[in-house]
Amino acid sequence: MITAQGRTDPNQNAGISLQNCTIVAAPDFNKTERQNFTTFLGRPWRNYSRTIVMKSYLEDMINPQEWSKWDDYRTVETVEYIEYLNFGPGSDTRHRVKWGGYKKNCSEEIARQFTVGLFLPGAGH
């Protein structure tokens, strides 16, 4: 699991934004060993979890569904998981989860809201 965000209120200006990242396995974690593990980009930690991954390289170690459920299965409709212009062998969105709160290939306008200058309080002001 790479992320587990814990926003508790839909009005909170909080979340995880991964932008221009390289998400790969550690060099000493070989392909044979990787087959014994499932790696997800994230899972909800609270009801209104919010995570965006944009313009990032995703290695093939990422599970094609990409996101994992939390124990409270109702959260899949209230979370906000977004992808934008990711690339690499793990970026294929055809097999992603079908949750109401998941958005694949969002618009540039939506992605811009989660950049450092706009998403982090005080950044760029």
Domains of the chain: 3-119 (2.160.20.10)
Cβ neighbours, 10 Å, residue 40:
17
One digit per residue, pLDDT tens: the chain, 125 residues?
Answer: 889 898 899 998 889 999 999 999 888 877 777 777 888 888 888 889 899 999 999 998 887 777 877 776 677 788 888 899 999 999 988 888 888 778 888 889 989 988 888 887 655 54
Rg of the chain (C-alpha set): 15
Flag whether the pTM goes above 0.75: yes
Residues 84, 60: contact at Cβ < 8 Å?
no
Instruction: With H, G, I as helix, E, B as strand and everything else as coil, classify residue 67.
Output: strand
| Structure token digits, residue 61 | 């170690």
